[in-house]
Amino acid sequence: MTTSAPTMTRRLTIRPEFAQLAAIADWVKDFVRAARLPCERLFAIQLCVEEAVANIIMHSDAAEHDDDIAVELAHGQNHVLATIADRGDQFDPTGSRVFRKPASIDEAAAGHFGIHLMRSFADEMRYERRDGWNRLTLRFGPGQGP
Amino acid sequence: MDISVEDVDGITRVVLQGRLDTAAAVMMELPLNTVAAEKKAIMVDLSSVSFLSSYALRLLLMGAKIAQSKGGKLVLVCPDNNVAKVLRSAGASDLIPVVPDGGAAIAALAAIA
């Protein structure tokens, strides 16, 4: 993942609850405005951060243990990095199978679109397990997304 | 997130407004699934929806599946915006009719309304 030194970094710690999602979206919006990024980037960053956090709340034992989730946004010269960290069981979303468009409504209604949307709306996705934390980092370049 | 439901000329129009994030989608499951199970010609208007999460996407697909299983049809009204990008990216717009406005939705539902 190519990065330059960030010019602006903000961090947020949240409870693992769905009720926090609207507050996260507002926090991302404030960051994007402060960084003077185009609104296309706002939607992509909001979507990917929401998917990552919702995934932790729904599927990770971090939520069961009521462990906080840490979110960081960093604006570099030509990109934004969003890092979502939790202390749940090790889970690497970058290792999930390649998405195949559903062939039927029955198949589609089963869901499981979250990781695919992150792959589609972010330019790069990186995972590491460090000191008991899952750290998912998403990179958003200057492009227009899907 | 707001929802309104009205029946006009045999078509049920469900209007969703605001952010359809995961929390909102959980709350919309019962009202939308109820409409999908009880009505035949359904238009779900997303024109005023500014955000759509993967769980919300599943909600819409589940509604279409329920409607289909009861012999009905669910059509989405969605202009070409970021929400439409989510629908396209997941392949949902290949499985449910997505039209740009209410008039096109009425035309798409005419056969069963």
The per-residue pLDDT for range B39-93, each reduced to its tens digit, is 999 999 999 999 999 999 999 999 999 999 999 999 999 999 999 999 999 999 9
Residue A45 CB-density burial (10 A; 0-12 exposed, 13-18 middle, 19+ buried): buried
What domain range is B54 assigned to? 2-105
Structure tokens at B39: 């009505």
- Asked whether residue B112 is domain-assigned, the answer is no
**Residue B58 · residue A111 · CB < 8 Å:** yes
CB of B33 less than 8 A from some CB of A:
no
Query: Mapping DSSP to helix (H, G, I), strand (E, B) and coil, where does residue A138 land?
Result: strand
- Do residue A113 and residue B96 have CB atoms under 8 angstroms apart? no
Q: How far apart (Å, rounded) are the C-alpha atoms in residues B91 and B24? A: 22
**A 59-88: CB under 8 A from B:** none
Tell me the whole-structure pTM to 2 decimals: 0.93
- Asked whether residue B55 is domain-assigned, the answer is yes
Structure tokens at A145: 């997304």
**B 76-105: CB under 8 A from A:** 82, 85-86, 88-92, 94-96
Name every chain B residue with its beta carbon within 8 A of the beta carbon of A57: 22
- Asked whether residue B24 is domain-assigned, the answer is yes
**Hey, what's the torsion of the CAs at A26, B82, A17, A27, to 10 degrees?**
-20
Q: How many domains does chain B have?
A: 1
Structure tokens at B97: 């009719």
- Asked whether residue B110 is domain-assigned, the answer is no
* Assembly ipTM: 0.93
Query: Mapping DSSP to helix (H, G, I), strand (E, B) and coil, where does residue A84 land?
Result: strand
- Asked whether residue B111 is domain-assigned, the answer is no
- Do residue A111 and residue B55 have CB atoms under 8 angstroms apart? yes
- Do residue B54 and residue A43 have CB atoms under 8 angstroms apart? no
- Asked whether residue B98 is domain-assigned, the answer is yes
**Residue A46 · residue A28 · CB < 8 Å:** yes
pLDDT tens-digit readout, A38-91: 877 999 999 999 999 999 999 888 878 889 999 999 999 889 999 999 999 999
